[in-house]
Structure 1
Amino acid sequence: MRFDLPRNVILPVDAVDVRLDPGPHPFALDNAEAIAENWQREISANPALFDGTVVLLSQLAWRDNSLVGRCHAVNYSTFMLWRKRRENSGAEHAYAHAMLVAGDNALVAIRMGPHTVNAGRVYFAAGSFEPIDFRDGLVDVDFNMIREVREETGLDLSIAERGHRYHALSTNSGTVIFRRYHEPAPADEIARRISAFVAAETDPEIEGPVIIRHAADLPDGLSAHMKPLIEWHFAGKG
């Protein structure tokens, strides 16, 4: 098994068994010099970048409605080079989306801030898995979702009603694992809370909230993977 899962189709996922390998990722070992050179170019263009720790997959498969895989901690600089050399790299990226569903069934996404790598892009509040998101070596997807939403929007989804299962969409650019989180307030009220949080932040990661009210309500800057997720939600799937 390396990467063995259907692409470009939304998959039901009852369990995520992705484990953190303590060893280095082969991509990091094989490209150390190129990683350092590329990072210098990246921070010259955007000094706000931080070389923290994220994870890259070395294996991922879908079996019996479960995602099973292995990942390794890497520096963000390694991830940045991988984004440019992902084809045949032996590495892939997975990330999680808390699909925030308001009481009026609208979706509440966010637009990334101008100093970020994905400046201006619209998707659900999210971030790459980090070592903190693992419990005894096993990824805790909901912990990641709740943590990232809190950090970016100020919302606490820890007691929100959750969809009964995950779903996943795997494309050539990565695999998104997502789950509905229901907030009883209408979308406009949720957006007001997020905007107030952003206004109070010294260095906010996001520009602000984006409300999506129906399947054809596709905002400028929408990330490519979001369209099928939006259509899936408003079709009443899951």
Structure 2
Amino acid sequence: MTSLTIHRVTTLDLAVRPAVWPFAEERRDEIAAHFAQQQRERPKIWNGRVLLGRDAVFTDGHLSATYFETDFASFLAWRDWGYPDKAVFNGFGMGALRASDGAFIMGEMAHHTSNGGRIYFPSGTPDLDDVRDGMLDIPGSVVRELAEETGLSAADCRAEPDWHCVFTGPSLAMIRVLNLDVPGDVARARIEANLAREAEPELSAIHLVRGIDDLKPSMPRFVTAFVEQQFASR
């Protein structure tokens, strides 16, 4: 099992720099074939540009790392083939929606997405829209993903200052708690109403997690580890 650590930080320093990814260059033909197969199964996925990380360092409440641009097909192959390049990680922001009654709110990804059936907080692999003056803007990415997936905005939440960075090696989930002023059932109904208005929503269902017993196997380990820590501290 991959080791897991949780670091609590207040500042993020994530520089985006040009780089050649040997994995993507050396296995280009295999990657193209793999992506073609994935598109046959999920025709809606497309080969856009994403950002992956390297060289994560945690010191005194601070995270620094560097990011580089690659195509989604290479990222998907790297993920599906068991993360063959161990020096690279998928580092992304997550907005941990927490209702006024303490329930965490998660979405189940729709089948047409590359993570169909998985249940987690609003998030997404960073892309070029998340770059500001050569730096990766994770707070902005969280707000964007929140709006795209749930219809909620930054004005609907009170963001806590710290980031809970759950690092597994292949993934680095930078999780910020977003507090809502309504109970879980009300928040879920509001999000479901927004999904019903969309022609093809990213989420197929909304789940409330009120305790450890509500965790499910389809939730990634970095999500369940964070939630377990949160409930243990109450």
1:16-35 equivalences under 5 Å are: 16-35=12-31
After superposition, where does 1:13-162 map in structure 2 within 5 Å?
Answer: 13-83=9-79, 84-158=81-155, 160-162=157-159
Give secondary structure in 2 for the equivalent of 1:38: helix
Q: Report Cα offsets for 1:106-131 as digits up to 9, x if no partner.
A: 10111110111211111101111111
**Does the aligned pair in 1 maintain the 2:54–2:66 contact within 8 Å?**
yes
Distance 1:165 1:223 in 2: 21
Where do residues 5-20 of structure 1 align in structure 2 (5 Å cutoff)? Answer: 7-20=3-16
Deviation at 1:223, TM superposition (A): 2.0
Moved more, 37-46 or 19-28: 19-28
Distance change (3 Å), C-alpha of 1:187 and 1:159: closer
Supply the distance in 2 between the matched residues of 1:189 and 1:152 (Cα, whole angstroms). Answer: 17
Distance, in Å, in 2 between the alignment partners of 1:230 and 1:50 is 31
Local SS of the residue matching 1:184:
coil
What's the CA shift for 1:28? 2.3
Q: Is the partner of 1:92 in helix, strand or coil? A: strand
Which residue in the other structure is 1:3 paired with? Answer: none
Distance apart, 1:89 and its partner CA: 4.6
Per mean C-alpha deviation after superposition, the further-off stretch among 183-192 and 17-26 is 17-26
Deviations 1:200-220 (A, max 9, x none): 111111102111111332135
- Residue by residue over 1:169-195, the C-alpha shift from the partner in whole angstroms, topping out at 9 and shown as x without a partner, is 111331111011111011111101110
Cα distance in structure 2, aligned partners of 1:156 and 1:72: 28
Give the structure with the higher percent helix.
2
In the TM superposition, residue 85 of structure 1 has moved relative to its aligned partner by 4.5
1:121-166 CA-to-partner distances (Å, cap 9, x unmatched) read 1110111111111211111111010100100110112462111211
**Displacement of 1:22 after TM fit?**
2.7
Residue-pair matches, total = 232
AA paired with 2:214? D
CA contact (8 A) 1:102 1:108 kept: yes
| Corresponding position of 2:229 | 232
Shift of residue 77, structure 1, vs aligned partner: 0.5
Is the contact made by 1:27 and 1:89 (CA closer than 8 Å) also made in structure 2? no
Q: 1:223 to 1:18 in 2, by over 3 A?
A: same
Q: Does 1:163 align with 2:137?
A: no
Determine the C-alpha separation between the residues in 1 that align with 2:198 and 2:78.
31
Partner Cα distance (2:22, 2:59) in 1: 25
Which one is further off, 183-192 or 215-224? 215-224
2:94·2:173 contact (CA, 8 Å) conserved in 1?
A: yes
Q: Secondary structure at the match of 1:93?
A: strand
Which consecutive unaligned segments of at least 5 residues does structure 2 have?
Answer: none
Q: SS at 2:213's partner residue?
A: coil
Q: Distance in 1 between matches of 2:52 and 2:173?
A: 13
| TM-score normalised by the chain length of structure 2 | 0.92
CA contact (8 A) 2:103 2:209 kept: yes
